Structure 1
Amino acid sequence: MTSVNFNAGATAALQTLRNINDSLDKTQNAVSTGQKVSSASDGVAYWSIATTMKSDNKALGAASDALAVGSAKVDTAYSAVDSAIDVVNEIKAKLVTASESSSDKDQIQLEITNLQDQLSSIGQAASFNGENWVVAGSQTQGTVVDGFIRNSSGGVQITTATYDISTYAMFDSIQANGAGTGGILGAVMTIALTSTMTQGQIDDYMDTVETALSSLTDSGAALGAMTTRINLQSDYASSLSDAIDSGVSGLVDADMEEESAKLSALQTQQSLAIQSLSIANSSSQNVLRLFQ
């Protein structure tokens, strides 16, 4: 039966066209954005996971930047310790020279004094971004941000690497006159040769220097170990970031080959649906011929 009030064929054709247009809109959005899930409405579960992981990856990138700053602080401190070892070795050599009975100990002390001033200068200059790990001051630990993690319960945590400044500092403080005091090198700074000094006293100074060298070596080793940890963590953070990016891509990125094929098919279906709707609409016009 043909009715002028309701065209069932046109209604069916219109519904089909609407469905095709909805699918075409989604496919065109996927092609233009490169994502099959670009909003929560496209897939709540995948969108939620991807949003969280993108946020975590950004935090991980910030932690990697902090690692670079931390690496610079460690390198600065290590350079100071390494230079200090060279200077203390020079002081050691001067004390050996002073052990010769015919040596001029007063002149040797002038050289040692200059070397002591150099140690103070090294300690004072070893500052990066306002932090000096070789002059303790009020510091007890140096801290470097080395990671960002999310635990199994969903909580987040910033991880850090620490350096024991109170144990490994070259000096406790730098006095107003620029001289370093306390710390690993405090006793070295008190060395003062005189022409009347005995060999036993010089030997005591030698023991002082050896103790300082041993402590400086421990300090350098601690800084070296920290550098290794920072480098390993930096490499791991880079790999982890790539893995997260890959995982997020698998969740939300569109398969462009598939979307391209789908787009062509939907465009063809759209053309056919439009023609079908046109045919369905024109069928009702045939009723007029019955009255001619």
Structure 2
Amino acid sequence: MISFNTNSAALGALDILRSTDSQRNNSLSRMQSGYRVATASDDAAYWSIATTMRSDNQTLAAVEDALGMASAVVDTAYNGFESATDLMAAFKQRLVLAREPGVDRDKINEELTVYKQELQTIAHASSFSGENWMWRTSTVDDRDRSLVGSFHRETSGEIKVTDVNYEIAGTAGTTDVNFLVDDLSGDSGILTGSGFAAALGTSRTWVMFNGENGPTYDEMTIGENTTDAEIEEMISVVDAMAERVTDVSSSVGALSKRVELQTSFVKDLQDSLTYGVGRMVDADLNEEATRFKALETQRKLGMESLSMINTTYIDFFELMSA
């Protein structure tokens, strides 16, 4: 039916054109943003999940940074203990050499002094960002070291951060100590503590050198008046100290490996979350490009149809008025 007041055909064509324009604009927006679900209005459920997962991914990025710091701290300590192990082996070798007849013990003692100084330097220098696991200077150093290990979200939605702990204090005055040097009380250090001589029952309380503020024990020095029995005791004590350094080095090395594995896992988990979010909310650009071209063609045809309808309508009434 043709009405003088209402062009029904044109209204229908205009409505189709509006719908096509809306779909075209949505498709263009998806191509420009790269997202199929960019706002909650696109898909509230997917948008909510994706937003939470993105937040978790940012938290994992912070965990990765913390693991990088932890790795540096642990690796610094591990390298220090490894270097100390080599020096202690050389120290023990010089003590064995001092047992040989005719050797210049004063010269050997000079070498031992150099090794002691180097061991002290290693303990003092094995620090990263203020963290030193080899050198005790305060009771604060006895606290357990807690390193960020992982992060997860529980089914309740609560966030949990898991720590990797390292007990560094040990028991002062025994062989169960972890610091290399204790300049606070002496007995919490492997090289400065009396526990190794006590455990071996030596005639004197041998230490490699004394801590700055600890008791004065019998420091390992040799000279022409040093007896072979005393050197034998020194060798035994140094050997026990070296075994403890090796044990501590193994523990720190295992901790380093754990941090390395956790870092690798966190990176893989970040990739998985990123991929999962992408599958949920990313637009398929090939599909959107094809859809956009089809809608663009449909829009042009709609405009042509609307133009033809309006032209026909005008021509009809011009004919009626003639």
What is the TM-score of this pair, normalised by structure 1?
A: 0.89
**1:103-182 to 2 correspondences below 5 Å:** 103-137=103-137, 138-139=140-141, 140-167=143-170, 168-173=178-183, 182=188
Q: Separation in 2 of the partners of 1:32 and 1:117?
A: 65
Tell me if the contact between 2:136 and 2:184 (Cα under 8 Å) persists in the aligned partners: no
Shift of residue 6, structure 1, vs aligned partner: 2.2
User: Which whole-Å deviations, capped at 9, do the CAs of 1:75-95 have from their partners, x for residues lacking one?
Assistant: 211111111112211221222
Once the 2 structures are TM-superposed, how far is the Cα of residue 125 of structure 1 from its aligned partner? 0.9
SS in 2 for 1:50: helix
Partner of 1:184: 190
Q: How many residues align?
A: 288
Of stretches 35-44 and 142-151 in structure 1, the one that deviates more from structure 2 is 142-151
Match of 1:61 in 2: 61
Alignment check: 8 A CA contact 1:120 1:174 kept: no
Hey, what's the Cα distance between the residues in 1 that align with 2:162 and 2:29?
40
The AA in structure 1 aligned to 2:57 is N
Which residue identity does 1:50 align to in structure 2? Answer: A
* CA RMSD after TM alignment: 2.3
**Offset at residue 122 of structure 1 (A):** 0.9
Greater displacement, 105-114 / 39-48: 105-114
Give how far 1:174 is off: 7.0
For structure 1, the 5+ residue unaligned runs are none
TM-score by length of 2: 0.81
**Contact 1:150 1:156 survives alignment (8 Å):** yes
Q: 1 CA distance for matches of 2:288 and 2:130?
A: 54
Tell me which residue corresponds to 1:2: 2
Query: Identity rate of aligned residues, in percent?
Result: 35
> Any idea what SS the aligned residue of 2:132 has?
coil
Which structure's relative contact order is higher, taking Cα pairs within 8 Å and 6+ residues apart? 1
Could you list the runs of 5+ residues in structure 2 that have no partner in the other structure?
171-177, 193-206, 210-218
How many Å separate the matches in 1 of 2:87 and 2:134? 15
Does residue 244 in structure 1 map to residue 277 in structure 2? no
How far apart are the structure 1 equivalents of 2:182 and 2:146? 18
The structure carrying a bigger helix percent of its residues is 1
CA deviations on 1:115-156 (whole Å, 9 max, x unpaired) are: 212211110111112211111332233333232222222122
